[in-house]
Structure 1
Amino acid sequence: MRLNLTILEEELSKKYTVKSFLHEIDPMRYIGVQALEDDIIPLEQHILLIGAGCRNAAVLRGGYGVISLGEPDSRIIRKNECLILSEDIPLVKLFSEIQRIYFKYTIWAESLHEAVSKGAGLQELCDLSAEIFENPILVYDNNLFLLAISNDAQGLPVWDYDEKSGKRTLPLEVLNDFKLNEEFQQTMLTTGAKMCSENVIGYKVLYHNFWVNNFYAGRICINELKREITPGEYSLLEYFSNILEPVLQYSKVRQNERIKAFEQSLKDMLSGNAVNEMLLLAGLTDIGWGRNDRHFYIRIITEDRDSKTFSANYTCNQLENHFPHSFVFPYDQSILMIINLEKNRKELSILLSEIKMFLREGLFRAGISRVCSDFFRLREYFFQTALAVQVGEKRDPMYWYYYFGDYTIPAMFHEMTRNISSDIYCERGLFSLLKYDEEHGTQLYETLRTYLDCNMNITHTSEKMFIHRTTLMYRLERISSMVGADIKNPEERFRILLSYHLLDWTNGGQTPKLTPQSK
């Protein structure tokens, strides 16, 4: 196994005092050690063991890794990577110690490669590395399932048990802390061995992300709980990660190909693409569902922090575990969950309460559709979830869930006014009332609204507006002449009420202000 001077310095420092002169990143390039004299040609890729009086021309020119007994010529220090130990140490003794260090790491490397050749899993490989790192070693995948742990220690997170997969998984509250932590978000973008500060989880973590085809696949962590992590362990973790990565890829549980095809069919339908109906029906059959089973849809909005922490896959697994007879997958910066009510058998109200609780604990927002009885109407009902969020955020910005059934009328208004101004639809006479009120300081617009809300009851209207019946009758006569509509006619009355609600929606519940278009 190749080592670098950083690792050798740390090992030798356990017995000797070492002065270090390492000028740059120290790669793992040295395959052994050579005791060098002035007339010997240095071996390539070897650490050169010299005495203080060394005058070897090649070493003086530089470019080597050198361990010197006593302080050598300043040119050697300046032009080589150099460790200096006491000249009182016998050369043979130091040579033997360096050989022992090489033997230690070579045995480790050989045991790893032998284990891999025999089909060992991640846990066995981590166990073989326990004495090298001494601190706790954790490996988890992109779903935050714990795949392996060695050197368990007090202070590590208490992992939840996932009954469906039989694996341990990171608790939701810990994930939420990670999602809100900017430093942790940055760690999800890195390559190579990096250090995460104690500000994230309370102690330092040396980690290495696994990337497969440019997609995040998981992570190995060395947790600083038993002793301080050393600089040399960056290189050792890089080496170990290169061995683990293909094992992780091979051992990672792959989805059933037909289920993947079913998911793709759903995504194609959502995108408006042509869908093979037989393939879609086969996918429903594979998961034990029927085309006309009663079901509903939840679209969970994923934030930038979710993409930075790659927590969408984790959330999909959590949802399927929390809500039996559901099918969950990421789609278009969101997560779509379908719950089959025929199979689940819980009351819709109970399910909605449980969903609200999950959303609140996960710091999510979501739109929820009405119940559907035909999976081929997926796109329409998915649109309900999107519309519920758009409308709900405007009407109830403090909520985190939006059930489409609560927002049907505002949803209609939202769609009506996407490309056409609301005043185009409204009863023109209402703008006459607004203009008159603006010019004369009256309340004709509000009077008509209150009168209709009170089902045209004179007594209730006058009481609600704190005016005399005679005053109300006078106003209604005035209103009737200005509006030019027969409010006793149900159809015209409906049109006026609809106009009021549309103007309320457009103006956030406030009395509309006249615009040049509406005058």
Structure 2
Amino acid sequence: MFLTAEILKKMLSRRYRIMPDTLPSNPSFCGFRFYNGSAPQKDHLCVISPEELAFLRPENGPGIFLCNGTGTETKDLCLPEDFTVLCLENRVESGELINALNEIFEEIESWEGSLTRLTPDVSDIRNALNESRNLLRGSIILADNRFHYIAYTDDFRGNAALIQTIEGIPKYVTEDILTDPAYQAVQSSRRVMLYQVHTARQVVPALCYNLFKKDSSIYNARIMLTSKEAFTPDQYDLLKILGDRLADVLWQIAPFSFPIPAFSSLHHAVASCLKEEPASRPLVHAILRMVHWSAQDKYVLALFSPYFIREKDEMNAVSVNQLELLFPNSCGVIIDQRVALLVNLGSKKEQGHFRFQENIATFLRDSLYKAGISSEFDDFFRIRYALYEAESALRIGNIRDSMYWYYRFPDYAMAYTLDHASRDVYYKDLVNQSFLDLLDYDREHSSSLAKTLEQYVKNKFNVSHTASALYLNRSTVLAHLKKIEEITSLNLDDWHTHLHLLLSFALLENE
């Protein structure tokens, strides 16, 4: 546990008058001791008398000192720059001062202890904010970078008008703000900063501290005061302690997920692009830059569908986080009681992309899911087509290879083509008419000319290979081909006829 000079100054000022008004530096320390003439102990506050302070020399520093009372010895005292000195205006009995310092340390230690036990649960986070409210002296709000209020202290609940005003911002205004370079600069700041929240009626001053995860600003912790009093340096320090602990909690879960009712910006971009009315391209590009992705990176999308499970919503909520932990650079959303997971495989110039389908078996082996996997694609805005591919692979694969756990669309692309080709018309109407005539002839004459033609085309018009596939001698195959030429008017030298025959064979096999 570490205190800063500014925090100590503010907490002591609740009992005593403290000097000076402004500190030249703000060092931190973890304990205190009384000055005994030796060099100050590192990371410890040194309680010293005015007389002893007057005799400090540069070789005694650096250090942080609490001077118990002021006197003639401390007036116009010139101390080294690496000395930080707090002075009590009036001398306090040593026992009383020790008790006051112990109480301050115990209060901060108790608060930090509660933060250490913090878990990624929204009610637990809300309790932590309420416990921090008195110490930070203001309403505390956890909000994401899309202006959603996630959790806030109880005293802020009554401010429904402010919440509705901010959460009711029109979509086009939100997109303009999120694509504004000035706002992105604020989002990338790694220090506690003064932040003005504009509402319909007033401008509310707030301190803002960005919580980072994998170099991306996912959520903002904001402290807001309803009064017009200026913020003090100790509030900056305390907010940073609180924000760092919240960031530690975020590190325990997946890179772009948080188990609370709000999307991160990346989730919003993925979810909107899977819908018929996606977010604007400038906004999506801005969001991708925030997480160091590019629209031209290589992607793959997997659709996970639970089976033999009734409570699908609860299972999907847990599985999204598990999948994002299992696959680096991934983002999962729930759509129609299924989990859609977008995985960024990296830049097209990078080498050694991991094989997604090989790693996916680890998850499917231990869960009650089956998955459809799209083809790889290098345009983020093709994600909706990738969803169709994953859905189709899952549907067709479940019918053809029900014993498998996952199905890749490239393996079922032909089946998808045939399925869609015969969806609106009767499949036999798509089959080559001459081949249908040949099938009718075989049925009437108990012959196998259609079988001979099929093998002849599939064996690239090689008579010897065709004879071997049919277990016939070469002369018999030549006789069949001559008969086929007499019955039909097929021109096997025409590539359109060749393609039509191959599709005809596949359509008949598919049915």
Q: TM-score, normalised by structure 2?
A: 0.47
Q: TM-score, normalised by structure 1?
A: 0.47
